Structure 1
Amino acid sequence: MRSRRKRLPALLLGTALVAGVLGFGTMASAADPDAADRAGRGAGVSAAAAAHAGHNMAPSTRASGDDADGDGYIPAVPQVTGVTPSEANPEPRYFHEFQANCSVTHTAPDDPIVFPGQPGKSHDHTFMGNTSTNASSTTDSLYGGGTTCKAPGDASAYWMPSLFKGEKKILPIGPQVIYYKAGVTDYTSVRPFPKGLRFVVGNPMQSAQEFRDHPGWVEGWECGESFKNIDFPSNCPAGSQLNLRMQAPSCWNGLHLDTPDHQSHMAYPLVKAGTNDNVCPASHPVALPMVEFKMAFPADGDMSQVRLASGRGYSFHYDFFNAWEERTLKAMVDHCVVGGLQCDPRGYDQNRPEEGAVLDEEYRLP
C-alpha cells in the first residue's frame, strides 16, 4: 500500500468484460499544457481542452442531466467562498491518505462528462466503481448506486481509455488502487469533495513531452525493470504487470462542479516561493483530496501491438465523477487525510492500529 509522494512543480495554476493476458491491460494519465486555462481565471475554453476529444473532445455545450442550460457550467450548491489558501505547516506526517479499491465494471464508447447524453460518441473507456455509468449518467443516477468499490458508500464513477493488444481489449485484473491523499502541505485543511464534482485529468491529444511534463506525472509506464517510460515499454517480462500512476489536481475554485473544458474549476497546488510547501493558488483556494490512479494490467512479452483507445501510451488521461455518500467520505477524509494516516479501504492504518478503523468489516460506516 506504500505510495510515494512527489513534490509538485511550481509551474502550474491553475459491455462484457474480456480479461486477457495476451500482453496486458489498461492505463491512465495525461496533460493539458494550457496553464492559463487550468488556472481557471477566465471562463474561456483552451485549445488543448477543445482538443481533448481523443474523444474529439470539444468543450461540452449541450443541455443534459446536470447542465440544464447547456453552457458547460454546473454551479456548486452551495458555493464555497471566502476561503484563503492555507499556508500552515502542521506536524509532518509522511502519509495522509486512504485507498478506494475499485474493480472494472464494463467498457463502452461513452463519456458522461465530455459527451453527456451522447452514447457511442467517445473512444472506448474502461469503467470502474459505479456499475451504471453510461453516457447519460448524472449526479442523481450515480448517487447511491451499485459499485465495485470495496466501500459501498463509494458510488463514484472512474474511467480511462481502454487498453488493447492488437484488436483484443485487455482489462486490469482485480480491484485497482485509487488513492485519496493530501496534495497540500497543510493536510489538515483538506475537505471532502462536493457531491457531483467531476473533472478530466490530462489530455488525449497531448504530445509525449507534454505527458512527461504534466503536473500529474508520477513515474510513467513501468514493467519489470523498465521505469519512467513516456510510452509503453517495448517488452515486459512474462507474468509481470504494466503499471501507471497519475495524480489529479486537488485545488478547487469552490464555484463549479464542472466547466466547459472539464478542468478549469480545478488546479494543482503550487510550491510557495522560498519553501518546499505545496499550497493551493488563490484562484482555487479550496483544498480537496488528490486522487491518484495506480493502474495495473497483466503484461507478457512483446508490447509492440499495445495501444490505448485514445492512441499511444502518452495519450493516457482519466475521468472522475464524485458520488460518495457524504458522511462516509467525510469520515474517511477526516480520519485518514486530516488525521495523517496511511489507511486501507476500511480507513485502517496497520502501522497505527490504536487509531482504529472508520468502516466496519463490510466496509460500511457504522
Structure 2
Amino acid sequence: MKFLSSLLVLAGSAEAALRFGCATLSIQRIDPLVQPGHVPSAHLHQIVGGNAFNASMDPKDGDIADRATCTSCTFSEDFSNYWTAVMFFKHSNGSYKRVPIMQNGALPNGINGGMTVYYTQQDFSSNGNQKITAFKPGFRMLVGSSAATSKQGKGLKFVCLADKGTRFPELDDFPTSPCKGGIMTVHHFPACWDGKNLDSPDHQSHMYNTVNDAFQNSGPCPSSHPVRVPQVAYETLWDTTQFNSMWPSGGANPFVLSYGDNQGYGTHADYVFGWKGDALQRAMDSSCMFTACENGRPLKSQAVAQMNKCQVKSQVGENIDGWLPNLPGMEGM
C-alpha cells in the first residue's frame, strides 16, 4: 500500500493529450492475452505497435520495450501493442472478404492501415490539468467481450463515416445502411486502476470504467480503483465503400467481425504496455497536445516510412485475403 499511497499524494498536474498513428504490424490469428501460446487463436486480429509481439508475451519474459527493435507507431519510444478484431464483408452467396483498413484523415499520409491511438486525460478538445500516472512495465488490459450479445456499456462504438473527419453520431452496433466514407470502430479503455495489479484473470477487474461516450471527460475514480491512468482509445477506419453496391436486398447489415459477430456488441480491444523507460510519464507530465508532442517535445517520433517498415511475420500462415468460404478459424459459420 505504500506504493499506492505515494501515487495518490503526488503533486502537480498532467496536461498532455496524445493522438498518433500506428501502421499495421501484422494481421493474424494470435492473441497473447485471451489465448496465450495458442497458434492459431480463435479469430483474426489486426495488431499494431512493437515487434516483440508474439503468441505468448509472458510478463516473466521481461519488459517488451527492452525486447522490441522497432515499432509501427509514430512515437519511436512506444513499443506497446494494440490490437482489435478484423472486419469482414459477407456476400449474399455466403463468402467473406476482409475489409481494407485506411488511415485517419488527421494523420500524415502514407500510413499502412493500422489505427489511431489516443492517451488523453480529459476529452478530445482539452488536455485538462489532472495528475495522470503512466502504466508500468507488464501492464495489460482488455475492453469489451467477444461473447457479448447486447450493449456492453459506454466507449465501444461504431461511426458511419460521411468522410474521414466524421465523428458523430456514435452507434452501439453496425450501421444499418451503406456508409459513404466507410465505418469507424472506436474502443475506449477504462482509466481507473487499482494501483496494485498489472493484470487480472479476466484482464479487466484491475481496472474500473468511468468512461463517457465521444471523448467526454471521464468521471472520478472510485476508492477501489483510485489511480487515474491515461485514457487509452483506438479508432480504426474500415474502407467499406467497395462493398456499398453489394448490400443485400432488405438492408440487412452485411458486415461481421472476425469472430462471426454481425451485430457489433462483441467488439473488443486489447492493450499491452511497452513504452520505453519513463517516456509515457514524461509525456503525461508535459503540456503538449497531439502533434505538438512529437519531435522531442517531449517524445521522439519517426517518419511514416519507418512506421510502415516495422512488421511481424504471421505465425499461422493461412490465407486471409480474397473471397473466402469461411471466416479464418470459423469453418462452418
Query: Which TM-score applies when normalising by structure 1?
Result: 0.63
The 3 A distance-change label for structure 1 pair 117 and 79 is: farther
Number of residue-to-residue matches in the alignment = 263
Is 1:80 aligned to 2:3, yes or no? Answer: yes
Q: Deviations over 1:105-155 (max 9, x none)?
A: 112221111111222133211111123422112343732412100111111
Match of 2:24 in 1: 104
Instruction: Note the 1:228-307 alignment, pairs <5 A.
Output: 228-238=170-180, 240-269=181-210, 278-300=219-241, 301=244, 302=246, 304-307=253-256
Deviation digits for residues 294-345 of structure 1 (CA, Å, limit 9, x no counterpart):
111112115533110131322110000001102221221111xxx3x4222x
Measure the CA separation in 1 of the matches of 2:55 and 2:222: 33
**CA apart distance, 1:169:** 1.6
Partners of 2:46 and 2:84 within 8 A in 1? yes
Alignment partner, residue 347 of structure 1:
293
Q: Deviations over 1:46-93 (max 9, x none)?
A: xxxxxxxxxxxxxxxxxxxxxxxxxxxxxxxx983226868x998xx9
- 1:308 is matched with which residue? 257
User: 1:196 aligned to 138, 142, 147, which one?
Assistant: 138
Which residue of 77, 81, 93 maps to 1:153?
77
Instruction: Please state whether the residue corresponding to 2:137 is helix, strand or coil.
Output: coil
Does residue 299 of structure 2 align to residue 359 of structure 1?
yes
Distance 2:40 2:301 in 1: 39
Alignment partner of 1:216 is 2:155: yes
Matched, 1:182 2:129: no
Structure 1 unaligned residues grouped into runs of 5+: 1-77, 350-355
Whole-Å separation in 2 of the counterparts to 1:281 and 1:332? 25
2:101 corresponds to which residue?
172
2:16 and 2:285 in contact (8 A); partners too: no
Equivalent residues of 1:221, 1:229 under 8 A apart: yes
User: Superposed, which structure 2 residues align to 1:35-46 within 5 Å?
Assistant: none
2:142–2:203 contact (8 Å) kept in structure 1? yes
In structure 2, list runs of 5 or more residues that go unmatched: 91-95, 103-110, 248-252, 304-333
Closer, same or farther in 2 for the Cα pair 1:228/1:136, shift >3 Å? same
Supply the distance in 2 between the matched residues of 1:299 and 1:84 (Cα, whole angstroms): 45
Report the secondary structure of 1:291's partner residue.
strand
TM-score, with structure 2 as normaliser: 0.69
Shift of 1:170: 2.1
Identify the residue that residue 45 of structure 2 maps to in structure 1. Answer: 125
Residue aligning to 2:324: none
Distance in structure 1 (CA, Å) of the matches to 2:53 and 2:158:
28
**In the superposition, relative to structure 1, how do residues 117 and 190 fare at CA in structure 2: closer, same or farther (>3 Å)?**
same
In structure 2, the residue matched to 1:10 is: none
The more displaced of 169-178 and 320-329 is 169-178
Q: Secondary structure at the match of 2:279?
A: helix
Distance in 2, Cα, partners of 1:191 & 1:110: 30
Give the one of 143, 162, 171 matched to 2:65: 143
- Aligned counterpart in structure 1 of residue 283 of structure 2, from 309, 332, 354: 332
SS of corresponding position for 1:236: coil
Could you tell me how far 1:191 is from its partner in structure 2? 1.3
- Check the 8 A contact 2:16/2:283 in 1, yes or no: no
